[in-house]
Amino acid sequence: MEDWVRFLEINAPRILELTIDHAILVSLAIIVALLIGVPLGIYLTTNEYLAGTVLQVASVTLTIPSIALFGVMIPIFSLINQGIGFLPAFVALVLYSQLPIIRNTYTAIKNVNPEMRDAAIGMGMKTHQRLLRVEIPNAMPVIMAGVRTAVVLNIGIGVIAAYIGAGGLGVLITQGISRGDNYLIISGSLAVALLAIIADAILLMIQKRFTAKSLAN
């Protein structure tokens, strides 16, 4: 226990810094993923033919092991001299987030009660009004569930990104392995676990705040 106190005294600032790096990487990836995934998911509800293909591609992407995806990306990004570092990690995380976000947006919008949609059309709402006022608010809880899945997933995958020089909490674990230092490994993994749990809790709170009370369940 005393060892832990001493370890934390020395390393706390660094752990915090890496946690913030980790959080930034994941947050940026999620924001970009949302900007792509939500409009795409909404569009897919109007084009069944494309929906099948896109969801299939996204689902195959998710089965690609992260270290293998990084392995493939390094040579590709080397072409633009970005083989190692932030960019390949960032792109990988965006790709991995697509399936949960697109799929949840797509099914949520699809499952909006058709009577509600009819009522909105009957009131004379235009397509974008209907989307913004009726469909998206009603689909919100399911979309947010997709975001939560993506965030927790990405926090885990972000660890592996340390191997390609993207920083973050994975650095503690990889250093711990190479130095045989269990303190580093344990503190790194606990920080990752805590980050995932806290992020999930915050998103759940946001989800509840932005969800109409009647839809809270």
Partner 1 sequence: MNRKKLIGNAFRIVVYALVIGFFIWALSNQYLSYIWSDSSTFLVLLRQHSELVLVSSILAILIAVPAGILITRPRFRKAEWLVTNIVNFGQTIPSLAVLALMISVLGIGFQTAVFALFIYSLLPIFRNTVAGLDTIDKNLIDAAKGMGMRPYQILFRIELPNSAYSILAGIRTAVVLNIGTAALAYVVGGGGLGVWIFTGIQLFDNGFLISGAIPVTLMAIGADYLLRKAEYVLVPKGSRQEART
- Residue 204 tokens read as 């759940």
Residue 122 C-beta: closest distance to partner 1, Å: 25
Alpha helices in the chain (DSSP H): 2-44, 48-63, 66-78, 86-110, 114-122, 127-130, 136-160, 170-179, 182-210
39-40-44-46 Cα dihedral, nearest 10 degrees: 40
31 binds partner 1 (CB under 8 A): no
Which among 5, 4, 24, 27 has a CA at the least distance from the CA of 16? Answer: 24
The amino acid sitting at 107 is T
32 binds partner 1 (CB under 8 A): no
**Dihedrals phi, psi of 53, to nearest 5 degrees:** -65, -50
Residues 184-203, mask of contacts with partner 1 (x by CB under 8 A)? -xx-xx--xx--xx------
Q: Which stretch binds partner 1 (CB under 8 A): 2-10, 13-21, 44-52, 114-122?
A: 44-52
Residue 16 C-beta: closest distance to partner 1, Å: 18
Residue 163 C-beta: closest distance to partner 1, Å: 6
The amino acid sitting at 20 is I
65 binds partner 1 (CB under 8 A): yes
The amino acid sitting at 144 is M
Q: How far apart are CA 213 and CA 146, in angstroms?
A: 20
Which residues are CB-neighbours of 59 under 8 A, at least 6 positions away? 99, 103
Q: Which stretch binds partner 1 (CB under 8 A): 28-36, 40-48, 129-137, 206-214?
A: 40-48
Among 33, 93, 102, 160, binds partner 1 (CB under 8 A): 160
Which residues are CB-neighbours of 214 under 8 A, at least 6 positions away? none
Residue 169 C-beta: closest distance to partner 1, Å: 8
34 binds partner 1 (CB under 8 A): no
CB atoms within 10 A of CB 118: 10
25 binds partner 1 (CB under 8 A): no
Among 3, 49, 213, 216, binds partner 1 (CB under 8 A): 49
Query: For partner 1, how many residues bind (rule: CB under 8 A)?
Result: 47
Task: List residues binding partner 1 (CB under 8 A).
Answer: 46-50, 52-54, 57, 60, 63-72, 74-76, 78, 83, 152, 155-156, 159-160, 163-164, 170, 173-174, 176-177, 180, 182, 185-186, 188-189, 192-193, 196-197
